[in-house]
Amino acid sequence: MVRPVARRLHAENIEEVVTTALKRSGVSLEEIDAVAATVKPGMPLSLVVGTEYGKQLALNARKPFIPIHHMEAHALTVRMVEQLIIEINTRIFWVEFPFLVLLVSGGHSLLVLAHSVDRWSIIGQTVDDAPGEALDKGARRLKLRNIPECSSMSGGQAIEHLAKEGNPRAYDFPTPMWKYRDCTFSFAGLKHSLLKLITKLEEEYEVEGGNIIPPIRDVCASYQYAITKHLVRQTQRAMVYNDIRGLLPKENLKLVLSGGVACNNYIRSALQKLCETTGYQLLCPPPRLCTDNGIMIAWNGMERWKAQSGVIYDEEAIKNIDI
């Protein structure tokens, strides 16, 4: 989305979103304990709208303010989901710390050890693009918006959809970071290989303008396969690293998968297979809570409130929070 447009839409809608949320939940502003809002990371132009609104709301209502890190919220969502299951099925289950987290979105690719609400160790991250970015830019170059059934899908969704009927071994992609033995990610090389492949295929099939290359499904399937393979490989390394260092309890190994790209069923099932062979339990929020949503920010606020960690009471300190 064009940044100034995103900012305008945020500014135009925030008041109504907050009012509707309060009305629907049947809770008044006086009854809430604190105000939580995302302060980082992200596009400053849009972030500033929510941060400033949240700060002002907290100051006007004389409530504490809880600044939220967007990726922490993605990582904690699963604890809320499992708690909802307890309430519905009276099943006693709670995603206890510590656990391993793979966060894959449009801006991030992170392998993190979650020790507690406020203690996280990053064990791998991308040196260039995020997987969602590689999927979105690939989808744009493949002109997937011109395919009617994909016109309203995100890039990642469209690639997953078309890949279902494609051959994942049709085209080879280079293995990223093959020289290194750590958990670092890199998706820029895969993206560039895709762009080169598209140009070659367009020449081969004499495709012009907004037309789509005939082997589109095979290209999508092979690209998705290459991205998935890289995610699985680095995650497996993180598991080996945990194993050697004894960082997670052997009787309760958990991998949490979240972020927009975690909606992808092909990636979920590849990680499920990895977990089955390594003795991990894969935990993943439902798709609507994997992509960006306000509920995960509220939940992160609850977690921090319960732990009384990062809660800002002082009015001057709230005013001085910056994105």
Q: Tokens 């469209």 appear where?
A: 158
Minimum CB separation of residue 290 from ligand KG4 in Å reads: 7
Using the CB atoms, write b or e for 104-143: b if 16+ within 10 Å: bbbbbbbbbbbeebeebeebbbbeebbbbbbbbbbbeebb
Minimum CB separation of residue 291 from Zn ion in Å reads: 7
Minimum CB separation of residue 102 from ligand KG4 in Å reads: 13
Minimum CB separation of residue 208 from ligand KG4 in Å reads: 26
Q: Tokens 């500033």 appear where?
A: 48
Largest Cα separation within the chain, whole Å, is: 66
- Rule CB under 6 A: is residue 259 a binding residue for ligand KG4? yes
Closer by beta carbon to Zn ion, 222 or else 264: 264
Q: Considering only the stretches 29-37, 61-69, 154-162, 241-249, report the one whose residues sit in contact with ligand KG4 under the rule CB under 6 A.
A: 154-162
Closer by beta carbon to ligand KG4, 11 or else 43: 43
Tokens representing 250? Answer: 């052997």
Q: Considering only the stretches 53-61, 183-191, 256-264, 304-312, report the one whose residues sit in contact with ligand KG4 under the rule CB under 6 A.
A: 256-264
Contacts of residue 92, Cβ cutoff 8 Å, sequence gap at least 6: 86
C-alpha 126/C-alpha 108 separation (Å) is: 7
Phi, psi of 169 (to 5 degrees): -105, 10
- Rule CB under 6 A: is residue 135 a binding residue for ligand KG4? yes
- Rule CB under 6 A: is residue 228 a binding residue for ligand KG4? no
Helices (H), the chain: 3-25, 44-61, 70-89, 131-141, 155-163, 188-204, 216-245, 265-278, 287-290, 294-307, 315-319
Minimum CB separation of residue 59 from ligand KG4 in Å reads: 28
In the DSSP assignment, the letter for residue 213 is P
Closer by beta carbon to ligand KG4, 248 or else 263: 263
- Rule CB under 6 A: is residue 109 a binding residue for ligand KG4? no
Closer by beta carbon to ligand KG4, 98 or else 156: 156
- Rule CB under 6 A: is residue 136 a binding residue for ligand KG4? yes
Closer by beta carbon to Zn ion, 108 or else 191: 108
The amino acid occupying position 267 is I
The amino acid occupying position 264 is N
Q: Considering only the stretches 4-12, 44-52, 149-157, 183-191, report the one whose residues sit in contact with ligand KG4 under the rule CB under 6 A.
A: 149-157
Of the candidates 73, 106, 94, 36, the one whose C-alpha atom is nearest the C-alpha of residue 262 is: 106
Minimum CB separation of residue 1 from ligand KG4 in Å reads: 11
Using CB under 5 A, list all residues that contact Zn ion.
105, 292
Minimum CB separation of residue 33 from ligand KG4 in Å reads: 26
Q: Considering only the stretches 150-158, 171-179, 205-213, 311-319, report the one whose residues sit in contact with ligand KG4 under the rule CB under 6 A.
A: 150-158
Closer by beta carbon to Zn ion, 105 or else 300: 105
Closer by beta carbon to Zn ion, 82 or else 292: 292
Task: Tell me if 132 sits within 8 A of 261, measured CB to CB.
Answer: yes
